[in-house]
Amino acid sequence: MAKQHPLRFTLDRGSPVPLYFQLSQQLEAAIERGELAPGSLLGNEIELAGRLGLSRPTVRQAIQSLVDKGLLVRRRGVGTQVVHSQVKRPLELSSLYDDLEEAGQKPATQVLRHTLEPACARVASALGVAEGTEVVVIERLRLAHSEPMAHLRNHLPAGLLDLDDESLAATGLYRLMRGAGITLHSARQTVGARAATAAEGALLAEPAGAPLLTMERTTFDDTGRAVEFGSHLYRASRYAFDFQLLARS
């Protein structure tokens, strides 16, 4: 049975920030810090409103905002339950597996395809090989807490390193590459968004037309050789890219 957590919040009634928003922000922060783990119960709205001295509509609005973000879910006969925290991935040369692990998200992998195939023009250009050259193709479904997070498609030069499905299911691709002595140096990356097709939605547990984040990345080693071209899809309800911007001098 899911555990119900005693929650303590500090609300500033003199602030111009609405009370429902203060509550939702503190709830979201508790989820992101891991104080409210997936499966945790918040208790019912009446109990929470009474304990915080808030109206029930205020509590309901705070909870609904996190339900809309996909962080909470209302279950009949169970109550309001934490689903997970949204993964916020820094824009740096790291793997999704490592980012999920660092966020305490218990990553797992299903290997969908692992084969050789001729490189199309786009893949050939990214990897710096002739069109039609055989390259390694790896497709995986990355999960966190047994829930799909991303569909990953990677192309690698043939003969770059020995890979098997067992290793690919057990850890991240970049970790395997580093273990094989490949020094990852830099990458060229493009981030975008589009609507999910019916097949993509079925794979990622989203309805057709749901927003997906897209990422294409070409990774280079310390000799300047392209060692990987990735084309990935992420659930926008579960995932975000985190930017730090500096002012132009």
Sequence-separated contacts (24+) of 133-139 with Cβ below 8 Å: 133/158, 134/158, 136/160, 136/163, 137/113, 138/111, 138/113, 138/114, 138/163, 138/168, 138/173, 139/111, 139/112, 139/113, 139/114
Q: How many CA atoms, within 13 angstroms, populate the side-chain half-sphere of residue 22?
A: 15
The candidate with the shortest Cα–Cα distance to 48, out of 76, 26, 71, 77, is: 26
User: Where do the domains of the chain lie?
Assistant: 19-82, 87-242
Mean pLDDT of the chain: 83
- The CATH number of the structural domain formed by 87-242 is 3.40.1410.10
Structure tokens at 211: 């927003």
- The CATH number of the structural domain formed by 19-82 is 1.10.10.10
Confidence (pTM): 0.63
Choice among 64-73, 165-174, 218-227 with the minimum mean pLDDT: 64-73
pLDDT digits (tens, 9 = 90+) for 112-136: 999 999 999 999 999 999 999 999 9
